[in-house]
Structure 1
């Protein structure tokens, strides 16, 4: 029997025997701004969310398991995870040593977003010529919207409240004086772990000022609010990363390294470069800002024979261990892989 006949369903059993378990793929997730790879990963995450024994919805899935189930490579997974986390649909946390990465789908937020989003929109960008021109809207109406926007912005300088001109799911460029919808802002901020106190008048003003200078960038009301939350989150991370290196107990970290990695090269000088690397890892996550974490980290690091650092395999030493890639490999138990 020919392959064509098999694919037409005349005898699919031989083909089915060669196929893995099918993965449910929800194309509606693509329209949320997750992209194809993000939608695939989110679809599989939703599947496992209903099968975890954790009452809070967390489940563990290794990188190898993700690839086996979805076919996504390491770099595709990392890109999808970053996008889903930014959108607020997928949460992550690390536990244990060797560190394992756990996931949780923000199901309530996902359902609310699916319910609210117009199927024809997403949180991405539109071309400049389509920006602010929904189907069926005449040029005269568009001119009227522009005039109203200018008038409302002018009113702000007189102390009057600017109305939210982005109501609905139409794409609009940013304008000075934009104010996010409080309920939408609260939802996105909660999903991404950003406190409400972060959204000061100055922060919102700097956000709207930045994007109003780029009229080619357009988004929906929800999309702009999501971007604002991401803006606030990046501001927070940058602020924490820029804290003075002197506030990080670098010498105590070095002492723990000497204590638990006695067979490795001794640090004779705690120079600016090494101090900066330790400060970077310290600021990356709140969990890292605890010396007991570093003690556990160096216990795991002491078991490693070789690390890949600066393009070659070499014996581990402190500078290599606190570099971004090696640090992550030790955290996730891949250093000896």
Structure 2
């Protein structure tokens, strides 16, 4: 058994890393009449709508991924999808070879539907109280009206919260002076195992200065915050691995890449970027500090037809294989999923 295969299934990460992907469940969606499963699937679809790179809001999610993220079985997913599509709050389309199913949330229609449901419920209750109670029960009527007003306010707040989610999902370029939302920052920092105290004002300024120079790159408020945490994590790993970078047999790893992945792009220049990525992966685990491990890793990677790197799918090459996300996908056997 290879070293890569033997690592799969083992708990090599701290507990918090296993809890970094909670599912946001919005109770307001239950009122659409799609049930708890439909509300759960729609909540997760809204989450991914703010993270897709598609300009029209489409995102791809396999049945296996839906189940892994929400716990919904295949049949529960199919039932929820039918309800959401029939209602008109979610759209589906098939494309690509092999054919894949893509999803999109009808954001404007969803907000309008939620708002309409709230207004209709409030109107119905107000009419019932106005027409069905005798004048002698004025005190009770007053209490009922107060109850209705409170519920209406709560419903409106839920619709407003959903609208805020969509507003936060807007893609915008980075600007100088940008500040992350602290609650979101703490959540992402916890999920990635980064001490939020390490993300200083100077680091945020450096991050915003770097990215504001590239206005063509856009992301959501949460996306920029996630990238900031990733920036801080890379700075930490880079600092920890800098002193050992010289001892990493970079050329030996590149030679193994050429040997086991002959169909992939050839590395003609072993630059600082490749050395830095390799130093990061090398420092992450003692098992990685062995050329035999890299021989096994590249053997696994040679079976991959494409990788998701820098926001798009492309043919694999060394820099992509050394990136954190692709490296993790190959290690956990998810690259071909």
Coarse TM-score class (shorter-chain normalised): 0.3 to 0.5
Give the TM-score, by structure 1 length.
0.35
